Amino acid sequence: MALLDQNHVMYAGESKVFTCTHRDEDTDALISLAGATGTWTLVDDLGAVVLTKTTASGITVTGTGTYTITLTPANTSSLKGRYSHQMVWVLADTSDQLAFTGYLQIKGRIA
């Protein structure tokens, strides 16, 4: 089962690194991400994808079941509002797994 309510707040134009884990829902053991491909997606309230990160660009596997998602200032400088985000892994055995869902609130800067 995916982790729900993975909610975060940040400011537009700010860097952010999310440190994440992916665990087996039955055993709570970390799941191997060797040979897996991951996609993190940020979606606006109309369902349009506004930002995507993949294991080829922005997602780094750091160990068994652990990874980071890196947002740069350029990724968020033009964004403001509440967005849905989710992380999906396609494992080496081709199983498709939703790792987490939640909201990312991006606040505008005053100056």
Residues 49-102 have pLDDT tens digits of 999 999 999 999 999 999 999 999 999 999 999 999 999 999 999 999 999 999
Output the pLDDT for position 37. 97
Output the pLDDT for position 111. 65
Domain 8-107 class in CATH: mainly beta
Output the CA–CA distances (angstroms, integers) from residue 37 to 46, 59, 69, 77, in the order listed.
Answer: 26, 9, 13, 27
Residue with token string 């040979």: 35
Output the pLDDT for position 40. 98
Output the pLDDT for position 25. 86
Residues 15-39 have pLDDT tens digits of 999 999 999 988 999 999 999 999 9
d(CA 33, CA 20): 12
d(CA 38, CA 56): 9
Output the CA–CA distances (angstroms, integers) from residue 73 to 27, 41, 42, 92, 97, in the order listed.
Answer: 37, 17, 15, 32, 29
pTM: 0.93
d(CA 78, CA 21): 28
Output the pLDDT for position 78. 94
The pLDDT confidence band at residue 2, using thresholds 50, 70 and 90, is confident
Q: Which residues is 87 bridged to in the sheet?
A: 40, 100
